[in-house]
Amino acid sequence: MHWTGAAAVISALLQASCASRDVFSDPGINVDKWHSATRKANALITQLNITEKAGLLTGNLLNLTCGGIINAIPRVDFPGLCLQDGPAGIRTADLASVFTAGISIGATWDPELIYERGRALGEEFRGKGAHVILGPATGPLGRIPLGGRNWEGFSVDPYLAGIATSATVRGIQDSGVQACTKHYVGNEQETQRTLGLAKGVSVDAISSNIDDRTLHELYIWPFADAVRAGTLSIMCSYNRLNSTYACEDDHTLNGILKEELGFKGYVMSDWFATHSGAKAANAGLDMNMPGPVDQYNFTNSYFGPNLVRAVQSGNVSAERLDDMVRRVLTPYFYLGQDKDYPTIDPSGLFVTLAALSYSPSAFSIPDDTPLPPARDVRADHAALIRNHGAAGTVLLKNTKHTLPLKAPRTIAVFGNDAADLSRGSAVPLGAAYAPPQGVPMGVQVMGGGAGSGRLSYVVSPLEALRARAASSNHSMSIQYVTDNSVVANADFSGIYPFPDVCLVFLKTYAAETIDRTSFEADWNSTAVVNSVASYCPSRKTVVVTHSAGINTMPWADNPNVTAILAAHYPGQEAGNSIVDILFGDVNPSGHLPYTIARNETDYNTEVFNVTDPAQVTDAAAWQSDFTEGLLIDYRHFDANAITPLYEFGFGLSYTIFELTGKVNVRPVHGQRTISVFPPKVKENSPGGNPNLWKTLFAVTVKVRNTGDVAGSAVPQLYLSQPRSTVPAGTPMKVLRGFDKVYLKAGEERNVSFPLMRRDMSFWDVGASDWRLPRGEYIVRVGFSSRDIRMEGTIRV
Ligand code: NOJ
């Protein structure tokens, strides 16, 4: 195995447009370095007494300097660990950046940019003295279109999500910060995500009931990529899995994560997601967060003194205790965090307290308290974020040559999402940001909860458009109505002269702890669009959505709606990112990481709810059966021949791409017959049996830019396994390759997709292994899941 550092990743990516999958399937852990870190951890362990060992495994909730704290042990020079949310910026810090959300960077389909974001994120966390970023998030995967946290992750497709997770982990850890990939696993809805009280009775969390094949092929898949990439930590989730709490589930923690996937780092609980001591420790939980309290009892802890007692009474073995400590300490030494690590920035705590002190229900800190100095860690990341936001914007419709805009004299701008924020930027805490719709006025650049950040500034679309107008010496004028009720009531009397084009900005809020309730964008969006589309004198209305993900668009076929852009959650540079696209400074290249249906009823999965949660006292009432198995999102649309509005993988450009020649398939396995199961190894390495990661075939196509401007294409490979030898429930086709290829006008390049053993196999429940079905595979290559341009076959 070898270390894949930043330089290697980037240079390999630059050398060949075909290399992304190869690079991101390399192991991310350097074995020699790991062994040396383990030796250091072992040496430290020998100096610790049992109480100190237990102390390394539970947080200190009373210390609010970071989102999570592992206490220092000064006697042995251990400075403690600082854990911060995550995953798109430091949640409670000031002078830190708010990056593009997971769903935005996922929509770029660009591993290089995703890596770059991870690296920049890591630099900021390091700069603030955080040892661990609580991210990336790849659970929820997005099974439920209205899932409240889908936007924190990258895509509903495990293959795309897996590569994005891998690239993010590598970026973060290459900057010296530990990634904590979350939430493992099955945390697909926020409603009853953890246990609650109904009429004073404790009612268990939702149980995600998932069969073994679906678990492997969908929900655990991107976590396997994270482990392969070397994630040093994994956060177990709130929910139950097949009736066992995820943080005490021996099957998925010990069985799958640690044995099958060879994960050597530590499993940390989500906040208050631990529900037992010895049981959880023996099932594979290594660290209890935030400690030292449980859900209801602010003096007790499932770990801490309780763990000490469990070891003393023999309920947890001394070896297991040392294993837990070793798992926590080795990553710290592995990344060299014992040397010259920045101290914890003092502002984090203060930022949190200050926000609490001025929220309606909170304690107060005196007004004359001096502000602690905050370290500015933003560096030149604004430029990256601007670029990432534009790259994650998907052009869905563009008729009548509407975009890019060419020197319009008057632009009319509509919608509350175009405006500056009118209630401050404290998204993490302010009551004003309450779901379901968030604040009435201001651009939505991220969602709420743990995944949000504190904006040190935000560029609204209006601000960026006005700056553009100013730079044209005001030969272009910007007029606007940002009050949605005025727009919906078709009061356009304030707009003159008649605009050359109308821009409508819509937003959709989502936040941790609650699932979305509406498919359409918020704030009366459909009335707003219809109203502008029938008014706009030029008959050119452009709709831009800033959104957590899936929206239905009942107005999409309106002929006066001539362009649609899904801009997702772009982060602090939102206005600049979208203006770059509108004026063609950046050619759109984002593609949908999910399916947009014509009707919301076309989706087959929804939030599980009981009729009246406050009255349901049956502890086991919350059962979500994942009966659709593998058939979520485009796989479901394919299986049931439902035509989507905009399919998974779809995205337009200002230029035109074509595939030329034919699909070329080359075996690279070097064997006469390929074994059905991966050859066994003595011990699985991170990511599982290394043979699963071996490339068996290379598929090559040629992509050409036949338009007249430069742009980036996203050729995609969808694989169909031999129908006769796969079990029922196998999707008709699945994404198993993609690349992002920059092409000048007229340029053509070869793109190669390596197919690994895991990509071609299915999880055989009986054999408990990945089986490569015999027969003929169909390889489909195109520019979306429905825009297939070429086919080839592979016989195994
Ligand atoms: C709960 C969230 O589920 C998790 O994502 C976050 O990291 C922790 N809280 C800490 O804030």
> At 785, which CATH number?
2.60.40.10
Sheet containing strand 657-667, strands side by side: 657-667, 695-705, 748-756
Q: In this structure, are 398 and 495 located in the same domain?
A: yes
Q: Is residue 629 part of a domain?
A: no
Q: In this structure, are 90 and 225 located in the same domain?
A: yes
pLDDT reported for residue 4: 35
Q: Is residue 267 part of a domain?
A: yes
With a 6 Å cutoff on the Cβ, whether 228 touches ligand 1 is no
For ligand 1, the distance from its centroid to the CA atom of residue 235, given in whole angstroms, is 9
Q: In this structure, are 327 and 454 located in the same domain?
A: no
In degrees, rounded to 5, the angle at the alpha carbon of residue 389 between the alpha carbons of residues 569 and 412 is 80
pLDDT reported for residue 67: 92
For ligand 1, the distance from its centroid to the CA atom of residue 734, given in whole angstroms, is 31
Q: Is residue 742 part of a domain?
A: yes
**CB of 757 closer than 8 Å to CB of 691:** yes
Residue 617 DSSP one-character state? -
DSSP 448-504: BSTT----S----HHHHHHHHHHHTTTSSEEEEE--HHHHHTT--TT--SPPSEEEE
For ligand 1, the distance from its centroid to the CA atom of residue 181, given in whole angstroms, is 11
Tell me the sheet residues that pair with 196: 203
| Among the listed residues 417, 549, 568, the one whose alpha carbon sits nearest the alpha carbon of residue 483 | 417
Q: Which atom of ligand 1 is nearest to the CA of 451?
A: 5
Neighbouring residues of 786: CB distance < 8 A, sequence distance ≥ 6: 644, 647, 649, 650
Among protein residues, the one with the nearest Cα to ligand 1's atom 3 is: 270
Q: In this structure, are 385 and 338 located in the same domain?
A: no
Among protein residues, the one with the nearest Cα to ligand 1's atom 5 is: 450
Q: Which two tokens stand for residue 348?
A: 């984090």
Which residue type occupies 623? Q
Domain that includes residue 109, residue range? 47-191+203-343
pLDDT reported for residue 18: 41
| CATH number of the domain that residue 579 is part of | 3.40.50.1700
Domain boundary at 317, 343, 369, which?
A: 343
What span, in angstroms and rounded, lies between the C-alpha atoms of 445 and 458?
A: 8
Burial profile 645-658: b = 16 or more Cβ within 10 angstroms, e = fewer:
bbbbbbbbbbbebe
What span, in angstroms and rounded, lies between the C-alpha atoms of 399 and 561?
A: 9
Q: In this structure, are 417 and 563 located in the same domain?
A: yes
With a 6 Å cutoff on the Cβ, whether 141 touches ligand 1 is no
Q: Which two tokens stand for residue 564?
A: 């649609």
Among protein residues, the one with the nearest Cα to ligand 1's atom 11 is: 450
Phi, psi of 764 (to 5 degrees): -85, 110
Q: Which atom of ligand 1 is nearest to the CA of 91?
A: 11
Neighbouring residues of 94: CB distance < 8 A, sequence distance ≥ 6: 347, 351, 374, 454, 456
Instruction: Kindly state the helix (H) or strand (E) to which residue 764 belongs, with its residue range.
Output: strand 762-764
Residue 84 exposed, middle or buried by CB count within 10 Å (0-12, 13-18, 19+): buried
With a 6 Å cutoff on the Cβ, whether 134 touches ligand 1 is yes
For ligand 1, the distance from its centroid to the CA atom of residue 265, given in whole angstroms, is 19
Q: In this structure, are 335 and 424 located in the same domain?
A: no
Q: Is residue 728 part of a domain?
A: yes
| Among the listed residues 592, 30, 567, the one whose alpha carbon sits nearest the alpha carbon of residue 576 | 567
Neighbouring residues of 594: CB distance < 8 A, sequence distance ≥ 6: 142, 145, 150, 155, 156, 157, 549, 550, 633, 648
Among protein residues, the one with the nearest Cα to ligand 1's atom 8 is: 271
With a 6 Å cutoff on the Cβ, whether 450 touches ligand 1 is yes
Q: Which two tokens stand for residue 196?
A: 């609650």
pLDDT reported for residue 330: 98
Q: Which atom of ligand 1 is nearest to the CA of 193?
A: 3
Q: In this structure, are 405 and 487 located in the same domain?
A: yes
| Among the listed residues 746, 563, 780, the one whose alpha carbon sits nearest the alpha carbon of residue 658 | 746
Which of 64, 92, 235, 452 to probe ligand 1 with, by most ligand atoms within 8 A of CB?
235
For ligand 1, the distance from its centroid to the CA atom of residue 204, given in whole angstroms, is 19
Q: What is the 3-state secondary structure (H, E, C) of 576-598?
A: HHHHHHHCCCCCCCCCCCCCECC
Q: Is residue 155 part of a domain?
A: yes
Only one residue has tokens 């450009």, namely 653
Bond from prior residue into 222 cis (ω within 30 degrees of 0): no
Sheet containing strand 410-414, strands side by side: 394-398, 561-566, 541-546, 501-507, 410-414, 477-481
Give the largest CA-CA distance in the chain: 82
What span, in angstroms and rounded, lies between the C-alpha atoms of 614 and 781?
A: 50
With a 6 Å cutoff on the Cβ, whether 270 touches ligand 1 is yes
Q: In this structure, are 77 and 221 located in the same domain?
A: yes
Q: Which atom of ligand 1 is nearest to the CA of 68?
A: 10
For ligand 1, the distance from its centroid to the CA atom of residue 160, given in whole angstroms, is 23
Q: In this structure, are 165 and 241 located in the same domain?
A: yes
Domains contained in the chain, number: 3
Domain boundary at 596, 626, 645, which?
A: 596
For ligand 1, the distance from its centroid to the CA atom of residue 591, given in whole angstroms, is 28
pLDDT reported for residue 425: 66
With a 6 Å cutoff on the Cβ, whether 271 touches ligand 1 is yes
Residue 95 DSSP one-character state? S
Q: In this structure, are 462 and 331 located in the same domain?
A: no
With a 6 Å cutoff on the Cβ, whether 67 touches ligand 1 is yes
| CATH number of the domain that residue 65 is part of | 3.20.20.300
| Among the listed residues 80, 38, 3, the one whose alpha carbon sits nearest the alpha carbon of residue 333 | 38
Q: Is residue 773 part of a domain?
A: yes
Residue 124 exposed, middle or buried by CB count within 10 Å (0-12, 13-18, 19+): buried
pLDDT reported for residue 296: 44
Provide the 3-class DSSP secondary structure of residue 56.
coil
With a 6 Å cutoff on the Cβ, whether 182 touches ligand 1 is yes
295 CA to centre of own chain: 27
Domain boundary at 596, 612, 629, which?
A: 596
**Residues with active-site annotation:** 270
Q: Which two tokens stand for residue 317?
A: 């073995």
276 CA to centre of own chain: 29
Q: Is residue 757 part of a domain?
A: yes
With a 6 Å cutoff on the Cβ, whether 85 touches ligand 1 is yes
For ligand 1, the distance from its centroid to the CA atom of residue 185, given in whole angstroms, is 14
Given a cut of 70, the residues of the chain with pLDDT beneath it are 1-24, 293-300, 357-363, 425-435
Q: In this structure, are 679 and 791 located in the same domain?
A: yes
Q: Is residue 570 part of a domain?
A: yes
Sign of CA dihedral 601, 602, 607, 611: positive
For ligand 1, the distance from its centroid to the CA atom of residue 273, given in whole angstroms, is 10
Among protein residues, the one with the nearest Cα to ligand 1's atom 6 is: 450
Which of 192, 271, 514 to probe ligand 1 with, by most ligand atoms within 8 A of CB?
271
Among protein residues, the one with the nearest Cα to ligand 1's atom 9 is: 271
With a 6 Å cutoff on the Cβ, whether 184 touches ligand 1 is no
Residue 175 exposed, middle or buried by CB count within 10 Å (0-12, 13-18, 19+): buried
* pLDDT 10s digits, 502-540: 999 999 999 999 999 999 999 999 999 999 999 999 999
What span, in angstroms and rounded, lies between the C-alpha atoms of 704 and 717?
A: 16
Which of 66, 69, 85, 236 to probe ligand 1 with, by most ligand atoms within 8 A of CB?
85
Helices (H), 511-622: 525-535, 574-582
Q: In this structure, are 592 and 714 located in the same domain?
A: no
Sign of CA dihedral 627, 630, 633, 636: negative
**CB of 221 closer than 8 Å to CB of 142:** no
734 CA to centre of own chain: 20
With a 6 Å cutoff on the Cβ, whether 59 touches ligand 1 is no
Q: Which atom of ligand 1 is nearest to the CA of 183?
A: 5
For ligand 1, the distance from its centroid to the CA atom of residue 424, given in whole angstroms, is 23
